[in-house]
A and B are shown apart, each in its own frame.
Chain A
Amino acid sequence: GQNIDQPTEMTATEGAIVQINCTYQTSGFNGLFWYQQHAGEAPTFLSYNVLDGLEEKGRFSSFLSRSKGYSYLLLKELQMKDSASYLCAVRLYNNNDMRFGAGTRLTVKP
């Protein structure tokens, strides 16, 4: 089976920094994606890592360590609108077959 684990819930304060971790054990690996999903809406793409290291995009950064089966999403300067679920997804092979973690529900408080 494919295992992708994330914390269920996190809470942070507006303006702060939060790190959402994801660990995976999958039969294949061809990239890791992070998606954001607001309540009642579809997931939307945030970031992509296929090599080890940090990818930065504005207030969001994503890190990958393939040897450890580990990734994190870092959100800086949190805003209220960042309250959402964040889904970690692993692309298994070179065919866009992706498996998703259960998601981390982030609540940003004033």
Chain B
Amino acid sequence: DAGVIQSPRHEVTEMGQEVTLRCKPISGHDYLFWYRQTMMRGLELLIYFNNNVPIDDSGMPEDRFSAKMPNASFSTLKIQPSEPRDSAVYFCASSLLAGGRDTQYFGPGTRLTVL
């Protein structure tokens, strides 16, 4: 398997623009997670899905952020409008059924810079 795939790897945009980040989880994984990582706040969970259904979005910072998972092989995280404070690395991760040693496998991340 190719692992978790994210695109784009780097994104530079101007304040106020819409940004869409994409993720393809590992085939067969039931859980998908979106994280944001900054030097100040570390790795923060934004939202996660189970079988394409959002389970917990309490980590989404505000209404400018939205996430969808239209099918088992694709998810998007959208920021509209973007702000400079959204600059961070955004990771997508996926995992099998919960429990035991099942761990999350992370994608390579999208480095977002909002000017």
Given contacts A33-B103, A45-B103, A48-B101, whether A98 and B45 have CB atoms under 8 Å apart is yes
What mask results when residues 36 to 50 of chain A are scored 1 for a CB within 8 Å of chain B, else 0?
Answer: 000001111100100
Q: Is the CB of B42 within 8 A of A98?
A: no
How many chain B residues sit at the interface, stated as a range, is 20 to 34
In this assembly, does B25 line the interface, its C-beta being within 8 Å of a C-beta of chain A? no
What mask results when residues 43 to 54 of chain B are scored 1 for a CB within 8 Å of chain A, else 0?
Answer: 111001010000
In this assembly, does B102 line the interface, its C-beta being within 8 Å of a C-beta of chain A? yes
Q: Is the CB of A103 within 8 A of B56?
A: no
Q: Is the CB of B48 within 8 A of A97?
A: yes
* Bound Cα distance A96, B50 (Å): 10
The one of A30, A41, A42, A48 that contacts B103, using a Cβ cutoff of 8 Å: A48
* Size of the chain A interface, CB-CB below 8 angstroms: 21
Q: Is the CB of A94 within 8 A of B99?
A: yes
A-B contact count (CB 8 A): 54
In this assembly, does B95 line the interface, its C-beta being within 8 Å of a C-beta of chain A? yes
Q: Which of B15-23, B68-76, B78-86, B105-113 contacts A (4 or more CB under 8 A)?
A: B105-113
Q: Is the CB of B43 within 8 A of A100?
A: yes
Query: Which residues of A are interface residues toward B (Cβ below 8 A)?
Result: 30, 33, 41-45, 48, 87, 91, 93-103
Query: Which residues of B are interface residues toward A (Cβ below 8 A)?
Result: 31, 33, 35, 41-45, 48, 50, 55-56, 91, 95, 98-99, 101-109
19 residue pairs A–B, Cβ–Cβ below 8 Å:
A41-B108, A42-B91, A42-B106, A42-B107, A42-B108, A43-B91, A48-B103, A87-B42, A91-B98, A94-B98, A96-B33, A96-B95, A96-B98, A97-B48, A98-B33, A99-B45, A100-B43, A100-B45, A103-B43
